[in-house]
Amino acid sequence: MQHFRAYFVLFLIIPLMIFAEDGSQLWLRFPAKNGISADQIIAKGNSPTLNIARKELSSHWQGQTVELRTDKSLKKLKDGYTIKSSQNKIVISAGKEIGLLYGVYHILRLQQNQVSTLNLNITEKPSYDVRILNHWDNLDGTIERGYAGHSLWKWEDLPNIISPRYEEYAWANASVGINSVVLNNVNASPNMLREDYLKKVKVLADIFRPYGIRVYLSVNFASPKVLGGTENSDPLNKNVQKWWKDKASEIYKLIPDFGGFLVKANSEGQPGPQDYGRTHADGANMMADVLKPYGGIVMWRAFVYSPSKDDRAKQAYLEFVPLDGKFRDNVIIQIKNGPVDFQPREAFNPLFGALKKTPEMVEFQITQEYLGQANHLVYLAPLFKETLESDTYSNGEGSTIAKITDGTLRPAKITAISAVANIGEDTNWTGHHFAQANWYAFGRLAWNHELSADQIAKEWITMTFTDNEKFVNPVKEMMLTSRETAVDYMMPLGLHHIFAGGHHYGPEPWGDYKGGRPDWSPVYYHQADKNGVGFDRTKTGSDAVSQYFPPLNEIYGNIKTCPENLILWFHHVPWDYKMKDGKTLWEELCYKYDSGVHEVRDYQKIWDQMEPYIDEQRFAEVQSKLKIQSKDAVWWKDACLLYFQTFSQMPIPYEIERPVHELEDLKKIKLKMGHHN
Ligand code: BDP
């Protein structure tokens, strides 16, 4: 009996051991078997980076002999590489050692995706030089807009205690080509630059370096005054300049390959050069000058707006266009994809292409502040692609944001692309298993912005879950449509920023923070009244349309030609306006919200059929998140339709599911999360 019980327990445990997965391995789920033997790896040298490449091959590579060659003539490929193979051998060549490691990850990815490696002839060159994650991590371990637990960086423990996750993090980034990280929040504490913190930063930089990753810091503009006791932080003050110069020298002594600074200045209450009557260029150049001798750069954010009478969407353009040409060549202007703030859908930021002499880079947001946070499944590659492929017409047709930022249309010493990370100390790193795909997709697109959202999803699913087509195909479909689905149930037709204040999780279109900043109130953005809804940005409205190059100014400015998915972004549209499909605007809005809800219900149906193909734990966790998403979609639909109906006074079409909530009850919901705006 005893015996039997023991067997029985084993019988229960073994399958669990085989199948239980918690997502901690990300997309790096290699077979348990060993890789090739040491004599099948041909490589000269012994650097830490090469040794990682060797270790990856001997642990995971099951194919031919691999030769790794550094070849100076390939320097033009930057971090890139070539891969040439025959039956017996693969040769990976690169101008730099990091290129060899990237090449190794390339063949491992092919192996994971069951692509033959017998006849390869590949040349890869990254789209951007700096492929950077921005962590919004605070020194107290919290993360601004983080939904995957506390910060990975254990500042209290550093520099003495080293978490194994630092290296795992570097590994994951290197596997997709991410080569830079900003460790701390753009709302930066001056303490980040204190000597004791810099010593901690050094430890992280040392761990990341062999993986090709450089460290950057967000800096607080008032640091000289706060830390150094200078009389102010005026960028033209010699003492202030000296303080930064000394600080740079201190940093580079500890971290010789330090990347540079990211700066949020004169935005949302942060200090900046304007506090002293100086410009963004004065501020950025002062920092650029002290970093220049070491090869460092300044990423100066264009996310600036103040409570003014003018449309918030216009402000970055108004502040930065007059400064074009006034920045040092190691300054890049970091611009959010849209002119407001990482909304489910925005028109692209008109500052892209408007600066002719100043390098520009995109800032995306991987962490889903405005997209259901760690509860909603929203695959972001389609959003990233939508921005990168947007044609600004700045240099005639074909002037896409990708081409403006990757150096094709603007000579740039350094090109870069950034995104706000969604990574925390949760076991699965990102809170939602599918949010890992957004980290992955950003890396892949930063490396090659021409990859399709479809291909990236397919790779990621195969590596993260299974190669079984019965799983890959439906799940891929779900991912590819998921961003549009979220737009449908949250903010269709160009609506934006109708989130609950503070945490930005649920709907609050009625939000009118009287006495507070109007530009933090949903009613400011949707402008609903009895005539219609939407923000008039045409010539007779805020005239934001004029910030776009022709013909876009005309296309967006004319209600007949404005794309309907942005119509309420640019126009105040009458409730009975006839849309292209013959419905009234009000009906269209109703159908959009309703289809968003149905799409999430379809995802639930798809997912429930996926149970046989993957491990129980991840299956169940995603299943329960989809339930939340489904309930939230109904919440969004009811809140928005019932509220807007008080203006339109029109019936909800009868084919559409009836509201299940009372508006008054929804207005009472106050979630306790997060803090400001
Ligand atoms: C907004 C966030 C806020 C950030 C700000 C920024 O709500 O927490 O500090 O962006 O990017 O989206 O600076």
User: Which CATH number is 277's domain given?
Assistant: 3.20.20.80
Indicate whether 233 and 327 sit together in one domain: yes
Is the pLDDT score of 317 beyond 60?
yes
Distance CA 21, CA 19 (A): 6
What is the Cα 521 distance to its own chain's centre? Answer: 24
Ligand 1 lined by 303 (C-beta under 6 Å): yes
Residue that finishes a domain, picked among 77, 101, 124: 124
- At position 32, the amino acid (one-letter code) is A
Ligand 1 lined by 546 (C-beta under 6 Å): no
Distance CA 630, CA 634 (A): 7
Q: What is the pLDDT of residue 520?
A: 83
Residue nearest to atom 7 of ligand 1 (CA): 677
- At position 596, the amino acid (one-letter code) is G
Distance CA 573, CA 533 (A): 5
Answer yes or no: are the C-beta atoms of 302 and 320 closer than 8 Å.
Answer: yes
Indicate whether 299 and 425 sit together in one domain: yes
Q: What is the pLDDT of residue 41?
A: 98
Strand 532-533 to strand 573-574: parallel, antiparallel, or no bridges (unpaired)?
A: antiparallel
* Residue 106 Cα to ligand 1 middle (Å): 35
128-155 burial code (b ≥16 CB/10 A, e <16): bbbbbbbbbbbbebebbbbbbbbbbbbb
- 556: in domain: no
Closest ligand 1 atom, residue 187 Cα = 9
- 307: in domain: yes
Ligand 1 lined by 346 (C-beta under 6 Å): no
Which among 303, 503, 333 has a CA at the least distance from the CA of 416? 333
Which among 315, 285, 312, 311 has a CA at the least distance from the CA of 302? 315
The CATH number of whichever domain residue 58 belongs to comes to 3.30.379.10
Which among 455, 452, 374, 439 has a CA at the least distance from the CA of 621? 374
The phi-psi region of residue 59 (left if phi > 0; otherwise alpha if psi is between -120 and 50; otherwise beta) is: alpha
Residues spanned by the domain of 52: 31-124
* Residue 157 Cα to ligand 1 middle (Å): 28
- For the beta carbon of residue 318, count every other beta carbon within 10 angstroms: 15
Q: What is the pLDDT of residue 366?
A: 98
- 9: in domain: no
How far lies 33's CA from each of 62, 107, 116, in Å? 9, 17, 19
Is the pLDDT score of 20 beyond 80?
no
Ligand 1 lined by 142 (C-beta under 6 Å): no
What integer is the mean pLDDT of 36-50? 96
- 306: in domain: yes
- At position 245, the amino acid (one-letter code) is K
* Residue 404 Cα to ligand 1 middle (Å): 25
Answer yes or no: are the C-beta atoms of 600 and 489 closer than 8 Å.
Answer: yes
With bands split at pLDDT 50, 70 and 90, how would you rate the model's confidence at 8?
very low
Which among 614, 602, 588 has a CA at the least distance from the CA of 472? 614
Answer yes or no: are the C-beta atoms of 605 and 592 closer than 8 Å.
Answer: no
Residues in contact with 163: Cβ distance below 8 Å, sequence separation at least 6, in sequence order: 152, 154, 157
Strands ordered across the beta sheet of 65-70: 41-43, 65-70, 89-94, 81-85, 121-124
Ligand 1 lined by 363 (C-beta under 6 Å): no
Cis link prior to 307 (omega < 30° from 0)? no
- 212: in domain: yes
Indicate whether 432 and 505 sit together in one domain: no
Ligand 1 lined by 306 (C-beta under 6 Å): no
Residues in contact with 139: Cβ distance below 8 Å, sequence separation at least 6, in sequence order: 155, 184, 189, 191, 192, 197
With bands split at pLDDT 50, 70 and 90, how would you rate the model's confidence at 13?
very low
* Residue 88 Cα to ligand 1 middle (Å): 52
Closest ligand 1 atom, residue 270 Cα = 13
Answer yes or no: are the C-beta atoms of 453 and 183 closer than 8 Å.
Answer: no
Indicate whether 138 and 211 sit together in one domain: yes
Paired tokens of 321? 């266009």
Paired tokens of 263? 């700066």
Is the pLDDT score of 203 beyond 50?
yes
Ligand 1 lined by 341 (C-beta under 6 Å): yes
Is the pLDDT score of 662 beyond 60?
yes
Choose the residue to mutate in 268, 270, 366 for probing ligand 1, maximizing ligand atoms within 8 Å of C-beta. 268
148-184: per-residue pLDDT in tens? 999 999 999 999 999 999 999 999 999 999 999 999 9
With bands split at pLDDT 50, 70 and 90, how would you rate the model's confidence at 671?
very high
The CATH number of whichever domain residue 526 belongs to comes to 3.90.1330.10
Is the pLDDT score of 381 beyond 70?
yes
557-567: per-residue pLDDT in tens? 999 999 999 99
* Residue 373 Cα to ligand 1 middle (Å): 14
Query: Per mean pLDDT, which of 195-199, 519-523, 671-675 is the most reliable?
Result: 195-199
* Residue 391 Cα to ligand 1 middle (Å): 26
Is the pLDDT score of 1 beyond 80?
no
Helix axes 469-490, 381-388, angle to 10 degrees: 70
Indicate whether 401 and 506 sit together in one domain: no
More reliable by pLDDT, 305 or 558 = 558
- Residue 255 burial (C-beta neighbours within 10 Å; 0-12, 13-18, 19+): buried
Indicate whether 507 and 630 sit together in one domain: yes
What integer is the mean pLDDT of 512-523? 84
Cis link prior to 551 (omega < 30° from 0)? yes
With bands split at pLDDT 50, 70 and 90, how would you rate the model's confidence at 31?
confident
Indicate whether 236 and 106 sit together in one domain: no
251-279: per-residue pLDDT in tens? 999 999 999 999 999 999 999 999 999 99
Domain count, the chain: 3
Q: What is the pLDDT of residue 564?
A: 98
* Residue 640 Cα to ligand 1 middle (Å): 24
Indicate whether 447 and 499 sit together in one domain: no
Distance CA 465, CA 190 (A): 42
Distance CA 499, CA 632 (A): 13
Q: What is the pLDDT of residue 88?
A: 96
Which among 174, 176, 129, 134 has a CA at the least distance from the CA of 416? 129
What integer is the mean pLDDT of 600-610? 98
The model carries a pTM of: 0.96
Answer yes or no: are the C-beta atoms of 641 and 589 closer than 8 Å.
Answer: yes
Sign of CA dihedral 635, 636, 638, 640: positive
Q: Please give the full DSSP string across 353-386, using - where no structure is assigned.
A: TT-SSS-EEEEEE-S-TTTTTTTS----HHHHHH
- List, by residue number, the catalytic residues: 268, 341, 369
Residue that finishes a domain, picked among 395, 429, 451: 451
- 542: in domain: no
- 563: in domain: no
Rounded to a whole number of angstroms, the CA Rg of the chain reads 26
Which among 133, 577, 555 has a CA at the least distance from the CA of 347? 555
Closest ligand 1 atom, residue 677 Cα = 7
Closest ligand 1 atom, residue 267 Cα = 13
Residue nearest to atom 10 of ligand 1 (CA): 341
Ligand 1 lined by 144 (C-beta under 6 Å): yes
424-465: per-residue pLDDT in tens? 999 999 999 999 999 999 999 999 999 999 999 999 999 999
Paired tokens of 408? 């094709």
Residue that finishes a domain, picked among 71, 89, 124: 124
Residues in contact with 119: Cβ distance below 8 Å, sequence separation at least 6, in sequence order: 85, 86
Query: What percentage of the chain reaches a pLDDT higher than 90?
Result: 93
Choose the residue to mutate in 186, 218, 368 for probing ligand 1, maximizing ligand atoms within 8 Å of C-beta. 186
Indicate whether 235 and 367 sit together in one domain: yes
Choose the residue to mutate in 137, 143, 315, 341 for probing ligand 1, maximizing ligand atoms within 8 Å of C-beta. 341
Cis link prior to 48 (omega < 30° from 0)? no
* Residue 181 Cα to ligand 1 middle (Å): 18
Is the pLDDT score of 6 beyond 70?
no
Answer yes or no: are the C-beta atoms of 221 and 272 closer than 8 Å.
Answer: yes
What integer is the mean pLDDT of 373-395? 98
- 471: in domain: no
Ligand 1 lined by 369 (C-beta under 6 Å): yes
Residue nearest to atom 11 of ligand 1 (CA): 303
Q: What is the mean pLDDT of the chain?
A: 95
Answer yes or no: are the C-beta atoms of 446 and 126 closer than 8 Å.
Answer: yes
* Residue 342 Cα to ligand 1 middle (Å): 9
Q: What is the pLDDT of residue 10?
A: 47
Closest ligand 1 atom, residue 504 Cα = 7
Q: What is the pLDDT of residue 674?
A: 52
Residue nearest to atom 1 of ligand 1 (CA): 341
Indicate whether 506 and 439 sit together in one domain: no
Distance CA 501, CA 671 (A): 10
Phi first, then psi, for residue 493 (nearest 5°) are: 60, 25
Ligand 1 lined by 312 (C-beta under 6 Å): no
End-to-end Cα distance, the chain: 64
578-597: per-residue pLDDT in tens? 999 999 999 999 999 999 99
What integer is the mean pLDDT of 612-632? 98
Ligand 1 lined by 21 (C-beta under 6 Å): no
Indicate whether 296 and 363 sit together in one domain: yes
More reliable by pLDDT, 308 or 50 = 50
Indicate whether 61 and 197 sit together in one domain: no
DSSP class of 37: -
477-505: per-residue pLDDT in tens? 999 999 999 999 999 999 999 999 999 99
